[in-house]
């Protein structure tokens, strides 16, 4: 659904089934400028994906999303509003947050 939303607002989206697949895709695809990842995923969390991506693509921007506001790591990421999108969200919310994440100066993935 999120990929469809992104494509409707003019972005090209590449979907991955899990963090490991995302790593494989992103290690070989220099065209990707931003990763939108869920915080809580099976086998690899969004924060672990971001850490591992930072090792191979430190310039790659990451935007986290989650609906689990009780998780301590999610709360910590939520303190960085420019890299966090709370679920549920609208296509307008998504477009605004993607634009913000792409336009802001990128200091890399914060220590989470």
**Locate tokens 């999120």: which residue?**
2
Q: What class, spelled out in words, does domain 2-103 have in CATH?
A: alpha beta
Query: What are the boundaries of each domain within the chain?
Result: 2-103
Of the chain, the end-to-end C-alpha distance in Å amounts to 27
The pTM score is 0.86
**What are 5-26's pLDDT values in tens digits?**
999 999 999 999 899 999 999 8
CB 69 within 8 A of CB 40: no
- Do 6 and 68 touch, CB atoms closer than 8 A? no
Identify which has the larger pLDDT, 102 or 106.
102
């Amino acid at each position: 659904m999120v990929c469809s939303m992104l494509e409707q607002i003019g972005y090209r989206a590449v979907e991955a089934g899990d963090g490991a697949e995302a790593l494989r895709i992103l290690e070989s695809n220099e065209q990707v400028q931003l990763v939108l990842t869920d915080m809580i995923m099976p086998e690899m969390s969004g924060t672990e994906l971001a850490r591992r991506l930072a090792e191979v693509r430190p310039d790659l921007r990451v935007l986290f999303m989650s609906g689990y506001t009780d998780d301590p790591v999610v709360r910590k990421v939520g303190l960085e509003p420019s890299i966090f999108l709370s679920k549920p969200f609208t296509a307008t919310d998504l477009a605004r947050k993607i634009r913000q994440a792409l336009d802001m100066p990128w200091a890399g993935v914060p220590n989470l």
